Homo-oligomer: A and B are copies of this chain.
Amino acid sequence: MSHAKRFFSDNTASICAEILEAIAAANGGHEVAYGEDPWTGRLDEVLGEFFGTELRAFPLATGTAANALALATLTPPYGAIYCHPEAHIAVDECSAPGFFTGGAQLALVGGEHAKLTAEALAATLEGQTVSVHSVQPAAVSISQATEFGTAYRPAEVAALCEVAHEHGLHVHMDGARFANAVAYLGCHPGDVTWRAGVDVLSFGATKNGAMAAEAVVFFHLGLVRDFELRRKRAGHLLSKSRFVAAQLLAYVESGVWRRNALRANALAQSIGEAAGSRLLHPVQANEVFVALGAAGKASLRAAGFEFYDWGSPASGAARLVASWDQDERHVAALCAALAAI
């Protein structure tokens, strides 16, 4: 199985050695459960140093849980969450935000390359009437990197947060591929989060080398509120919390977050270059979207490459994702195949 040329998604990837070792190292002895262990106890401090600010961090096993719990903490049941139509929370989470909030609605705001703009957000917020009859604006959620593999620059995040905060909304960032975005931008992790005004981050490690490790990171400490009760009742408080915390600590402290992201990004760049004018979005993380046409897709698949159609099968578009552990020879072969189409 390991020989398949899989470009489906970075969640097909394996666990990197440093993180698997950290799990094994945390094994031994009896530790108090439900987050009262020393590994979980270090998370706030270690992630605080990583981001350069005081914060609260809560480990979780999935990104959907991180997003939905974060949003439910920010949004009342009658709230509106503004996001891009391509956002993972809108497209790929089976109404988890509606479930966790108790009925809140997503309000979609378009934008090129899956990015919200401050201008479009402001126009939407200012063009609507809010009364007891309407859904109440509550939160904005942006993805970093986006679902189209693009990254928000610090100034773009700051402009969005300024509009949101002016209108009394809190800002959530879905960082399932946060490391890829930061590695691309070359900035400090704080620059595209709390320094730009982000209130809460879903900080993902699973796609970038962990087994199952995400964290909800509150930069705005006043928003933590009843998060821990919501997590527990959603079945997302892990009893052996140390093993998730250990993954996150290793991810950050060993530097594999950047090393893995840089490698995946670089491989995606080379795929993007091979795609040339067929490229649909700039490559700013580890995802490449290519207009291949039905024939192009068929020829790649005939050559053993595995990937998802993007949009309807008829659209002719494909998504090619480079994982942190992608085989270089497979990437080289893919580039050659793309160039040949």
Residues of A within 8 A of B (CB): 1-4, 6, 8-9, 11-15, 20, 23-24, 27-34, 38, 60-69, 76-80, 91-106, 108, 126-129, 132-136, 206-207, 211-212, 226, 228-230, 232-240, 243-244, 311-312, 323, 325-326
Once the chains bind, are B2 and A95 in contact (CB under 8 Å)? no
Once the chains bind, are A31 and B135 in contact (CB under 8 Å)? no
Once the chains bind, are A240 and B206 in contact (CB under 8 Å)? yes
Instruction: Given contact pairs A30-B323, A61-B61, A93-B233, enumerate 20 new A-B contacts (beta carbons under 8 Å).
Output: A1-B31, A15-B243, A20-B27, A23-B211, A64-B235, A65-B235, A76-B229, A77-B95, A77-B99, A77-B233, A78-B232, A91-B133, A96-B232, A98-B102, A98-B103, A99-B233, A102-B102, A103-B103, A103-B233, A212-B212
Q: Which chain B positions have C-beta within 8 A of A207?
A: 239
Across chains A and B, which 8 residue pairs bring their CB atoms closest together, nearest first?
A2-B29, A98-B103, A65-B235, A11-B239, A64-B235, A6-B30, A94-B233, A12-B30
How far is it, in angstroms, between the C-alpha of A96 and the C-alpha of B233 when the chains are bound?
4
Main SS at interface, chain A = loop
Once the chains bind, are B212 and A240 in contact (CB under 8 Å)? yes
Closest Cβ of chain B to A90, distance in Å, is 8
Closest Cβ of chain B to A241, distance in Å, is 9
Once the chains bind, are B99 and A102 in contact (CB under 8 Å)? yes
Q: Which chain B positions have C-beta within 8 A of A135?
A: 94-95
Once the chains bind, are A94 and B240 in contact (CB under 8 Å)? no
Once the chains bind, are B68 and A235 in contact (CB under 8 Å)? yes
